[in-house]
């Protein structure tokens, strides 16, 4: 019971840690598919009293298969319900014993995507990931211990008096923990490899229970295939964490703007009430408060417009902000995504225009490197418009200038940018 309590506490901490990076995300309209199913098969090995080698499985390997249902809470955290079934065997030449075990396991696991947690802007995050897994569950099993020389049955767990007829299953606690890797094959399909140890709450998996023995463990190292479900193009497992924050930010800003409007309305009502009682001094203070709140509301509204990527139009010309990058980087952060969204808004509201995406660099570094870097920056914006904002790729074109078109001669960070050019 103490082990189960500790495991549940660890699971709670892992779940909360995984949800922290996406605080504020809109749950009603996720930007990614949340569900996936996973089928795995691989080698089972037992670690207990009846074993030829202490750590090496040798010829004692058997097959185990599992089926899992994943719920992607965020790009960092996935909850996985898993069913595993298989057979375990072992033999001890010194004791002239061998055993066989048939089992079923049900578990709930927290899966942490280490790439998204520790390297959220890593260049390989959308195609390759390393993850850790910890969980808790139950194992139901039956076992037979036999003489190695003549297969005579010595002891059983959940077999009838004839030592051959199954008589249900014994159930006990199991704690899975392990590591794995996934490779993205297509937007819907992943391939992976995983090795998970299971610490059981019993010393009887091999039908041998000794006072001085440790609890039995077993391992499954397997290959698997994951199928992502849902109407979105992107799965929550492969979505960058920075892309999931924007919708929630806008929602919160909408809510705050609405609160300011409510405050302004209430102050107006109070002003009218005081007018009826001729409290001129109080009314003057309330007017000052109203003016201050109005200024704050205007500032907030401007910020909201930026987050929602509203476009300012002046004399028929559309103005779009450039996108700026860190040195030697082509990665888009959350602030850059707001400006990409503004460009997408222009294209959606003006279906007859096209857009050229132009990449630039500063003068540091070799010319050939800068040419390639400016192309990567333009390509990153192009991919975001097509994949994240569903802009038709035929309406976009890419060009790259390297360091040949600087805006500033002294401030290099201004030149590390991507510009937009509208083609009518």
216-247 pLDDT per residue, tens = 999 999 999 999 999 888 888 998 766 554 44
Question: Do residues 95 and 172 both lie within one domain?
Answer: yes
Question: Do residues 115 and 157 both lie within one domain?
Answer: yes
Q: Which of 240, 257, 275 is the last residue of a domain?
A: 240
- Determine the pLDDT at residue 314: 37
Domain count for the chain: 3
**Has residue 271 got a pLDDT over 80?**
no
d(CA 39, CA 87): 17
Question: Do residues 10 and 151 both lie within one domain?
Answer: yes
Establish how many alpha carbons lie within 13 A of residue 206's alpha carbon, considering only the half-sphere containing its beta carbon. 27
**Has residue 383 got a pLDDT over 70?**
yes
Question: Do residues 230 and 303 both lie within one domain?
Answer: no
Which residue segment(s) compose the domain that 214 sits in? Answer: 2-240
* Residue of higher predicted confidence among 165 and 267: 165
Q: Which of 85-89, 300-304, 344-348 has the lowest mean pLDDT?
A: 300-304
- pLDDT for 165-202, tens place per residue? 999 999 999 999 999 999 999 999 999 999 999 999 99
Question: Do residues 280 and 252 both lie within one domain?
Answer: yes
Q: Contacts from 155-161 at CB under 8 Å and sequence distance 24+?
A: 155/207, 155/208, 156/207, 157/204, 157/207
d(CA 111, CA 14): 9
DSSP bridge partners of 38 = 68, 226
Question: Do residues 168 and 91 both lie within one domain?
Answer: yes
pLDDT-based confidence at residue 27 (cuts at 50, 70, 90): very low
Q: Are 222 and 43 in contact (CB under 8 A)?
A: yes
Element (H, E) at 28: none
- Determine the pLDDT at residue 16: 52
d(CA 49, CA 155): 14
Q: What is the mean pLDDT of the chain?
A: 83
**Has residue 312 got a pLDDT over 60?**
no
- pLDDT for 137-156, tens place per residue? 999 999 999 999 999 999 99
Question: Do residues 397 and 280 both lie within one domain?
Answer: no
Q: What's 17's DSSP letter?
A: H
d(CA 237, CA 77): 8
Question: Do residues 191 and 261 both lie within one domain?
Answer: no
Average pLDDT over residues 118-127: 85
Question: Do residues 266 and 394 both lie within one domain?
Answer: no
- pLDDT for 54-108, tens place per residue? 777 777 899 999 999 999 998 899 999 999 999 999 998 888 999 999 999 999 9
Read off the CATH number of the domain in which 91 is found: 2.40.160.20
Q: Are 152 and 99 in contact (CB under 8 A)?
A: no
Q: Which of 198, 222, 240 is the last residue of a domain?
A: 240
d(CA 391, CA 388): 8
Question: Do residues 302 and 365 both lie within one domain?
Answer: no
Q: Which of 189, 220, 240 is the last residue of a domain?
A: 240
Average pLDDT over residues 300-325: 59
**Has residue 4 got a pLDDT over 70?**
no
């Amino acid at each position: 019971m103490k082990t189960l309590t500790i495991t549940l506490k660890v699971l709670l901490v892992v779940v909360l840690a995984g949800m922290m990076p996406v605080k504020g995300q809109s749950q009603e309209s996720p930007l990614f598919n949340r569900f996936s199913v996973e089928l795995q098969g691989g080698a089972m090995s037992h670690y207990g009293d009846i074993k030829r080698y202490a750590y090496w499985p040798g010829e004692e390997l058997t097959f185990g298969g599992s089926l899992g249902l994943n719920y992607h809470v965020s790009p960092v955290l996935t909850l996985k319900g898993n069913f595993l079934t298989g057979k375990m065997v072992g033999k001890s030449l010194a004791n002239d014993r061998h055993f066989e075990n048939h089992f079923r396991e049900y578990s709930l696991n927290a899966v942490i995507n280490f790439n998204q947690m520790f390297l959220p802007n890593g260049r390989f995050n959308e195609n390759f990931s390393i993850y850790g897994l910890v969980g808790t569950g139950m194992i139901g099993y039956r076992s037979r211990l036999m003489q190695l020389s003549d297969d005579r049955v010595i002891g059983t767990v959940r077999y009838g008096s004839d030592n051959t007829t199954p008589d249900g299953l014994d159930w006990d606690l199991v704690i899975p923990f392990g590591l794995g890797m996934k490779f993205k094959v297509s937007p819907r399909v992943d391939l992976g490899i995983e090795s998970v140890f299971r610490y059981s709450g019993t010393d009887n998996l091999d039908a041998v229970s000794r006072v001085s023995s440790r609890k039995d463990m077993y391992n499954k190292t397997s290959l698997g295939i994951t199928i992502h479900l849902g109407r979105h193009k992107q799965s929550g497992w492969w979505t960058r964490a920075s892309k999931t924050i924007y919708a929630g930010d806008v929602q919160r800003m909408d809510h705050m703007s609405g609160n300011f409007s409510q405050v302004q309305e209430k102050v107006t009502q109070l002003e009218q009430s005081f007018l009826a009682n001729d409290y001129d001094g109080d009314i003057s203070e309330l007017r000052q408060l109203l003016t201050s709140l109005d200024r704050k509301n205007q500032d907030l509204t401007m910020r909201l417009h930026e987050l929602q990527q509203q476009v300012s139009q002046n004399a028929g010309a559309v103005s779009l902000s450039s996108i700026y990058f860190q040195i030697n980087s082509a990665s888009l952060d959350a602030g850059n995504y707001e400006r990409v969204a503004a460009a997408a808004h222009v294209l959606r509201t003006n279906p007859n225009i096209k857009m050229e995406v132009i990449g630039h660099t500063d003068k540091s570094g070799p010319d050939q490197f800068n040419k390639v870097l400016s192309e990567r920056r333009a390509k990153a914006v192009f991919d975001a418009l097509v994949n994240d904002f569903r802009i038709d790729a035929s309406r976009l074109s890419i060009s790259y200038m390297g360091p040949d078109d600087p805006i500033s001669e002294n401030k290099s960070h201004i030149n590390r940018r991507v510009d937009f050019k509208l083609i009518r």
